[in-house]
Structures are given as C-alpha cells and as structure tokens.
Amino acid sequence: MNTLFALVDCNNFYVSCERVFNPLLINKPVVVLSNNDGCIIARSNEAKSLNIPMGAAFHLYKDFINAHKVKVYSSNYPLYGDMSNRVMSSLADFNSDFEVYSIDEAFLKFNQKKVVDIEYDIMKIKESIFKWTGIPVSIGIGPTKTLAKIANTLAKKNNHHGIFDLSSKLKQDEILKDTNVENIWGISRRWGSKLRMIGIGNAQQLRDSSPRRIRQYLGVVVERIVYELQGVVCLDINEILPKKNIMSSRSFGNLISDKAILKQSITEYTIRACEKMRNQNTRAQSVYIFLQTNKFNKGKQHNVGVVIGLSNPCSDTGQIIRLAISAIDTIYKSGYLYQKAGIMLLDLIPSNVNQYDIFETTNYSSSDKRMQVIDSLNKKFGSGTIANGILKSKGKKKWSSKEYYLSPRYTTQWDELPHVM
C-alpha cells in the first residue's frame, strides 16, 4: 500500500479572494497590501510579470503601479479567513486525514493501493475546489511532507498545470539536484549557510548525507529533514514542530500618546498571540512587551521593552493580559508619540509538560477548560465574540491600521453583501 502526502496550496490566495467577488480583476495586475497599507504582500501573476517585488514598500512603487494600472487592495482578513474556511471545509469532504498548515495551505494523506487512484483523486480535488469556492489551487505530491512541499513549488509553474507528482525515485533525483538547500521546507538561511560550509548546497546532497552527522552539526530538526528527503516519514499529519516564540504586533494607523489606548492595543495583540499559542498546544515561560516610536520622525525617540518571567508556564489569556498591561505601566513615558506596540510569548513548551514549583501547586484544569470554551465560541461565531472587557468599545479602534483600499467583507458583514442589479 502506498502512502503519499499532498500539499494543497491556494494560488496567490489574497488576490484570488478579491477576484471571486470581482471577476473584472481576472487577468489584470493586482496587489494586496500589508497592515497600514505599508508593503506589498500578495501579487497576481500579471503583477509579478511587471517585476513588482514581494515585500516592496508601497509608497516607493505607487507611481509605477498607477502608471501600469495595477489594482490595489488593503488586506481584507475577514474575507480571506472566511474563504480559507470554505476551502478547508471542502478539502475535508474529500479526505478526513488532513491538516490545515496555514491560511492557504493544507496537507492531505492518502493510503491507496494504486498511485493512479491517488492521481485521479488529486485532479478531482483541484477541479472541485475551484468549482465550489472560485479559488485556484496547486497540488504537490510526495511520499513525505517535505517532498510534497518541494513538489508544490513545481506545481505552480505553468508547464505542470497545477499538479506535480514527486513520488518516483527517478524524478526525485532530477528535482532535488536543482533545489537549493535554502529552498527546502524548514531550512533557514543560517542553516543553509552552515550546510554550504560542509559542501552541501542542494537537496540531493542533503538527502545523501549522514543523518547522524547532520544531527551532530545542526540538531534533530535538520536530521528529520534528511530522513524526509530520503522518503522516511518523520512528520505525519498534525505533526508540525511548534514555534518556540510567538509575536503579535502592529504599527498603528495613527501615532498614539494615550496610555489607555496603548493598553487596549496590547490587550488585542495579547489575545491574538495567546490563541496562536494554544492552537499549537504550548505554554509560555516568559513574555516580552515593547513600545516603539517612529524612528523616521525627527524628535524624541523612545523604544523600550521588558521581559517578564513566569513562575509557572501559562497559556491563560487573562493572566497574560494582566502582565502585559502592568508592563505598559512600567515602560510607558508621557510626551512620546508611539507608532507600534507588541508582545512576544517566549520559551514555549508543550502543554503536557508541567514543571511544578516545590512551594506551589498549579492546577491548569479550570484555566484550560475556560480557554477552550472561549476559543471554540470565537472560532464558531467570529473572532472577538468573547473578548476582554477593555476591548468592548464601539466604532473603529484608534490604533487600527490604515485601510484606504479595503474591499467589502462580502461573506461576513450583512451590510457589505454583494448587490445584484
């Protein structure tokens, strides 16, 4: 029986979401901007052909974009999140053995006798997702997640029609030889540089290296990648290495000097970070809270942060919010105009690892149950359905990002539904 993984990746996802409700954008250059309309974070293929780089500052390319009639949109996260849920729900109808990896990616696992049966299912999935949601996808197939990830990169190329199968050994030899080591899923630039120092510059060379030697040199994570490249499954469905740190921060739409407003913003960022932390089943051992002024503005600057250690690992949003608000009281100085605030949850450990203090007994049961109820309600009825009282204010938040090019939230707001004339 063959076991294969498929990585389903939505093509230019943010742009594709905009096109579902505005077909006039099809075959036109389109870009989507980051928070505060600062940088370009998504591009249609037509925008890519104009050599508009990913991550480019919007203000530097604004004249070029206008001259080439490129359509510009602010990030519409309520729309993108809802469209993502539709895609993932559709995938679940095909295969219950799947894992959501990001807002626009999911892994599927197939156990079938014939590879041809899997290929038929893959084609059906690709066609059905587009028919049901309007979102085009590319699908990479491989005997491990790492190989499926490499295959997905190739599936996006025009000559492969959105599907690439990397299950055969012969094809792996051909493709891995042309894959730079830095382009392998999980290999950072720093690790890539270290691998090149010992003569490993592509995926084939890493595959053919000694896993034990690589572990001694770079640790267990890269050792697992070597085995995955060799076709040995080390990361099964729902086995993703959790992040060690999680940060939530954002530049404000307007400069802020009011401490109460800064506390509201840090509360919102803390809620978001804690949700991500619990989603990967971890707890924080310390937190870092910071404030920053605009370094490009002339005048007084105040960039400051504080690390708070926790006597016991914590994933309770309420407890961490209290720490964050207390930290703002400590680091805030009146008379400064702050541009950014944020929180980083540090030294995350698995939730099932409990290191008790000899003088304390920490019972996570009631806290975990409360957080589970809040997370499930917010997931079912929308983010912010249940939130800390400090955030319960009407109207646009004063720290909200600039959104000059925001499209309607077609699927999540009654008053923004599409109108049929």
Average pLDDT over residues 130-144: 95
Nearest of 65, 87, 66 to residue 17 by alpha carbon: 87
Interatomic CA distance for residues 274 and 350, integer angstroms:
14
Residues 294-307: tens digit of each pLDDT:
887 777 899 999 98
Average pLDDT over residues 396-403: 64
Nearest of 270, 280, 211, 292 to residue 388 by alpha carbon: 270
Residues 169-217: tens digit of each pLDDT:
999 999 999 999 999 998 988 899 999 999 999 999 999 999 999 999 9
Q: What kind and span of H or E run contains 271?
A: helix 259-279
Answering whether pTM is above 0.75, one says no
Extents of the domains making up the chain:
1-165, 168-241, 246-391
84 secondary structure, DSSP code: H
Least confident of 208-217, 238-247, 299-308, 409-418: 238-247
CB neighbourhood size of 392 (10 A): 8
323 half-sphere exposure, CB direction, 13 A CA radius: 28
CB 35 within 8 A of CB 51: no
| CATH topology classification for 168-241 | DNA polymerase; domain 1 (1.10.150)
Q: Which two tokens stand for residue 68?
A: 């080439």
Nearest of 315, 266, 265 to residue 289 by alpha carbon: 266
CB 262 within 8 A of CB 332: yes
pLDDT at 15 over 70: yes
Average pLDDT over residues 322-351: 92
> What are the backbone dihedrals phi and psi of residue 361, each rounded to the nearest 5 degrees, phi first?
-125, 110
User: In terms of CATH, what superfamily is 1-165?
Assistant: Reverse transcriptase/Diguanylate cyclase domain (3.30.70.270)
Interatomic CA distance for residues 104 and 7, integer angstroms:
10
pLDDT band at 314 (very low <50, low <70, confident <90, very high): very high
pLDDT of residue 362: 66
CATH 3.30.1490.100, applies to 246-391 = yes
- Strand pairing category for 137-142 and 163-165: parallel
pLDDT of residue 275: 93
Q: What kind and span of H or E run contains 143?
A: none
Interatomic CA distance for residues 162 and 9, integer angstroms:
10
pLDDT at 100 over 90: no
39 secondary structure, DSSP code: B
CB 65 within 8 A of CB 107: no
Per-chain mean pLDDT for the chain: 88
More confident residue, 279 or 414: 279
